[in-house]
Amino acid sequence: MTTERAYHQARWNEPIILDMGGEGERGILLPEVEKEMLEDITSIKSQIPKALRRVTPPDLPQISQVEVYRHYLRLSQENLGAGFVADVGMATSTMKYNPPINERLASNPKFTDLHPLQDVSTVQGMLEIAYTLGEFLKEISGMDDISLQPRAGSQAIYANMAMIRAYHDKNGQGTQRDEVITTIFSHPSDAAAPSAAGYKIITLYPEKNGYPSIESLRSVVSERTAAFFTTNPDDTGIFNPLIKEFNDIVHAVGGLCAYDQANANGLLGIARAREAGFDLCHFNLHKTFSTPHASGGPATGVSCVTEELAAFLPSPHISFDGDRYYIDEDRPESIGKIGQFYGVAANFIRAYAWIMAHGAEGLKEVSEIAVLNNNYLMKKVLEIDGITIPYEPGKPRLDQIRYSWHELLKDTHLDIVDIANRSADYGMHFFYSHHPYVVPDPATLEPTESYSYRDLAKYADDWRKIATEVKNDPEKILTSPHMAPIHKMSDLTPLSDPEKWIPSWRVFKKKKRSVHSD
Amino acid sequence: MIKMNKKVVYPYIPNSTNAARSTLIKSLEITSAEDVFSAIPSHLRLDRPLNLPGPILSEYHLEKHVNEILDNNQTANDLVSFLGSGCYQHFIPVVCDEISHRNEFLTAYSGKSYEDHGRYQALFEYQSMMAELLNMDVVNLPTYDGLQASASAMRMAANITGRKQILVGSAIHPEKSSKFVEYNGKSLDIVYLPFDDQSGELDMTALRASLSKETAAIYLESPNFFGVIETKLKEISALAHRFEAIVIVNTDPISLGVLVPPADLGADITCGDIQSLGIHMQFGGGQAGFMATRNDPKYVLEFPNRIYGLVPTVTPGESGFGEVAFDRTSFVGRENGKEWVGTMANLWAITAGVYLSLMGPQGMRDVGELIESNVRYAILRLSKVPGIKIQFGESNHFREIVLDFSKAKKTVEQINRELLKKNIMGGYDISGKFEGFDNHAVYCFTEVQNKETIDALEKALREVLA
């Protein structure tokens, strides 16, 4: 027997914590300065000159531990963690199962209390995990060397751009090569990070088949091309079969090719950056390799490069001499530090354990099931009247798909934001598309390998219910959400008005005071 | 062991049974999983299995395997550590760990303000508590680390002023400069200012000589890399403001229960790392960067990162949250956005928020005073050890001091090796990293130290240097 779920999220109406508690209440106590020490140090001057000693204490909460803990537990209940649902709608993000065993391993005090500047003899275990994970990722990408230092995918894109610049600089073409080519369905950071590095961005748009034409690429490459940054497949789930030819065209003019593999979930053991002719790629451990998304980081982007670019990898580099693991800082051609220390080491442990739990066969199983799941879900979703797929519908897709609700919504007063709001009532996350919306009223789904066919059938069924509401009860959608921790926000314009925005509690209080004094 | 030719059923993959797989395949009217990969041309297909070890299919053995490797570590908790230099061992309230391990926060990503309301509120509260501590109005959701925060703050200052020159006080972690040069060196003109040999503070003469109408910003750290508190921030700010240059001060928020916040001394942008606020060191994985300014759109519109703001809902008294000035970001503008936005370090902001609400004003003061006492006690004990001189001994220190071993008969490397045999991790060796600092080390004294550990350090150093 199956009972229809009656979902309702917790609604605690928690005050802002700065508005809680009472004078003198304490959340945690610290030891007092030892008496003996206090007597001894009178001969040493105070280390804080009078003028620099804080007199007005910060207006932080004064509140008991009981209430702090309860407050944050309640806030956590008002948050839809991926662990609670088949998180198919948070697409392009590869929301997959985050096994608790990996959390236990990453919480081992033998790791959490490591200081990054310890003597290498005391961190051999940590370095072994980092180095071996790197070896795994070299095999999975086919590339020759890697860095785990970038603290997320976008920082890895930046690191790859910086290495490309160093490469062209070394060849005396640094100034000449000032353009980067990308595609509109590649992540915004494939345009933004090279732009932040000072490059002019050229964006290619897809043809009817979902990927740019060879001719469009040919028309923009030149001796000014520094690099081509692309995903494949991108958010449409369409694999560009001419990718090798694309890379050959870029190479022919002296440019380099960087593969955004933040999401490589459909390709493990199937196809690699190496065979497609890429010079660089990056993986997000928090996507394909199952480390948790952590409310938006910390994360890990792994930069992978061919031998030709290895010398430019961020410094320091974690290496192995056949006997001992060591930290190599003697890298004169390196782009230097991308981030502090060696990156988000907890994710090295989690990803290592996740890969070990699968092995080669298991990783291929991950990708096969992820792709089968995606096509299974597509079939179910396309049975819903008015939901369509742009670009050659009917052809199998890899790991994700951008759908369009446009046919269903075009004659109503609803738009895709209303659908997203209503999705919250069903316990779903909802991702439209990155900007700009090339596909009208977009919605992207990525079922990964973590969800059963039952989950997926249910997911499609919930979409069907919302689609039915579009026709039968649009008002319910327009006024949604109804089951979320809060009701519909009435006015979002203050967020872009400097006179009205409220980026902190103190700004709220200042504005309240000024309203009252008016 | 009996070997059976049975397909592995993976516990993390519900559809990995033969039955489930064939349900999928039948529904798609295909014959095998190969058919869904038909778009990938054969010359791009990997024609062999990946060469990987494993698998370790049982959870029990996986746990054992990884923990056995990690057992080869010796941690700052197994031994006594005096390392700092950017990553710090502080007391961590258990509630911080409990909240950061909640599946709701740990596994969430970037859902919208309704279903992820709790995350938005926790992050807004983080911004708000940091604003109180820093005496600023606007704080970003964290960027990757304090290093990225510093580099981005320099870009903000250049964009706001339309100038290119950044004066950087050179009492910074020497490894930071490679990032500043790589990240900003092509578009900005980074000029390092020396520190005063005697005090370790910024050389004021050099500052006066360098400031001009070309200067976008002066960037300083206080407490700086040597643990020295910059006592002339007010004067430095006044000088910079005379040229309409921006003052960026990198600080550690854990000092602000006892130290006047840089904003009160003229800083226009405060930045730094929040790792000290309740986050485990994790081999350097606990870093997260903050930037803070006043509520001036000229500044706010230059932030590259997310900032959450409060908005009303249709229900009176109820609040929701959204993104402040989202159009400035790369999520809207791609290459026209400010730097870029993406996954950064939000979980640590939630953790730091828990920390600040537990600590409150009194806790922040207590921790600052404990650190100050430990530093004074360390100066008292260590200055008497033959072969050690406290560098910048007359200056004011927070949490870190530099020990000058140039009169000792051993190098810092040798000293640290011998200390390690006595279960002590000595300070960070900065020999060769600053001119004239040939045999020096930065020692860190947080509130986790006490009379016993500092006495033990003194005893060990006496023995090593004897």
List, for residues A40-71, the tens digit of each pLDDT value: 999 999 999 999 999 999 999 999 999 999 99
* Residue A152 CB-half CA count within 13 A: 26
Distance from CA of B206 to the nearest CA of A (A): 23
> Is the model's pLDDT at A39 over the cut of 80?
yes
- Spatial separation of the C-alpha atoms in residues B49 and B55, rounded to whole Å: 13
- Spatial separation of the C-alpha atoms in residues B222 and A320, rounded to whole Å: 37
Structure tokens at A62: 């004064």
Confidence band, pLDDT 50/70/90 cuts, at residue B391: very high
Interchain proximity A162–B182, CB inside 8 Å:
yes
Q: Which residue of A has its CA nearest to B23?
A: A453
Tell me the mean pLDDT in the region A13-41: 96
- Give the residue numbers spanning the domain of A342: 104-354
Q: Which of A39, A79, A272 to mutate to test the interface with B (most CBs of B within 10 A)?
A: A79
pLDDT reported for residue A189: 96
Percentage of chain A beyond pLDDT 70 is 99
Tell me the mean pLDDT in the region B85-89: 98
> Is the model's pLDDT at A514 over the cut of 90?
no
Give me the residue from B313, B366, B428 closest to A489, CB to CB: B313
Q: Which residue has 């050099």 as its token pair?
A: B206
pLDDT reported for residue A466: 97
Structure tokens at B94: 């258990």
pLDDT reported for residue B436: 87
pLDDT reported for residue B1: 45
- ipTM score assigned to the predicted complex: 0.98
Chain A residues touching residue B87 (CB < 8 angstroms): 115-117, 340-341
> Does residue A67 belong to the interface with chain B, where contact is any CB pair within 8 Å?
no
pLDDT in tens, B45-80: 999 999 999 899 999 999 999 999 999 999 999 999
pLDDT in tens, A14-25: 999 999 999 999
Domain contains A82: no
pLDDT in tens, B94-112: 999 999 999 999 999 999 9
- Spatial separation of the C-alpha atoms in residues A124 and A326, rounded to whole Å: 8
pLDDT in tens, A433-447: 988 899 999 999 999
pLDDT in tens, B304-356: 999 999 999 999 999 999 999 999 999 999 999 999 999 999 999 999 999 99
Domain contains A467: no
pLDDT reported for residue A517: 62
Confidence band, pLDDT 50/70/90 cuts, at residue B5: low
Interchain proximity B379–A95, CB inside 8 Å:
no
Give me the residue from A83, A115, A194 closest to B107, CB to CB: A83
What's the longest Cα–Cα distance across chain A?
A: 83
Domain contains A158: yes
Percentage of chain B beyond pLDDT 70 is 99
Three-class SS of residue A374?
A: helix
Chain B residues touching residue A262 (CB < 8 angstroms): none
For B94-356, CATH number out of 3.40.50.300, 3.40.640.10, 3.20.20.240, 3.40.50.970 equals: 3.40.640.10
- Are B112 and B389 in contact, with CB atoms under 8 Å apart? no
Q: Which residue has 């200067």 as its token pair?
A: B215
Tell me the mean pLDDT in the region A262-289: 98
Domain contains A403: no
How many domains does chain A fold into? 1
Domain contains A291: yes
Distance from CA of A373 to the nearest CA of B (A): 7
> Does residue B258 belong to the interface with chain A, where contact is any CB pair within 8 Å?
yes
Interchain proximity B104–A62, CB inside 8 Å:
no
CA-closest candidate to residue A308, choices A164, A193, A180: A164
Interchain proximity B450–A162, CB inside 8 Å:
no
CATH of the domain at A171: 3.40.640.10
Structure tokens at B186: 């092509």
Structure tokens at B156: 């903000």
> Is the model's pLDDT at A5 over the cut of 80?
no
- Crossing angle of helices B18-27 and A345-382, in 10° steps, is 40
Domain contains A14: no
Domain contains A26: no
Confidence band, pLDDT 50/70/90 cuts, at residue A2: low
Distance from CA of A412 to the nearest CA of B (A): 23
> Is the model's pLDDT at A505 over the cut of 90?
yes
What CATH number belongs to B80-89+361-465?
3.90.1150.10
pTM above 0.90, yes or no: yes
| Element of type H or E holding A154 | helix A153-170
- Spatial separation of the C-alpha atoms in residues B256 and B274, rounded to whole Å: 12
- Are A30 and B366 in contact, with CB atoms under 8 Å apart? yes
Q: Could you tell me the residue ranges of all domains in chain B?
A: 1-40, 80-89+361-465, 94-356
Considering only residues 287 to 306 of chain B, which have any Cβ-Cβ distance to chain A shorter than 8 Å?
Answer: 287-288, 295, 297, 300
Considering only residues 292 to 321 of chain A, which have any Cβ-Cβ distance to chain B shorter than 8 Å?
Answer: 292-299, 315
pLDDT reported for residue B284: 98
Strands laid side by side in the A145-147 sheet: A145-147, A301-305, A280-284, A256-261, A225-230, A179-183, A200-204
Confidence band, pLDDT 50/70/90 cuts, at residue A255: very high
pLDDT reported for residue A3: 67
> Is the model's pLDDT at A4 over the cut of 80?
no
Tell me the mean pLDDT in the region A338-353: 97
Chain B residues touching residue A239 (CB < 8 angstroms): 39-40
- Are A286 and A293 in contact, with CB atoms under 8 Å apart? yes
Domain contains A209: yes
Confidence band, pLDDT 50/70/90 cuts, at residue A516: low
CA-closest candidate to residue A420, choices A335, A481, A352, A501: A481
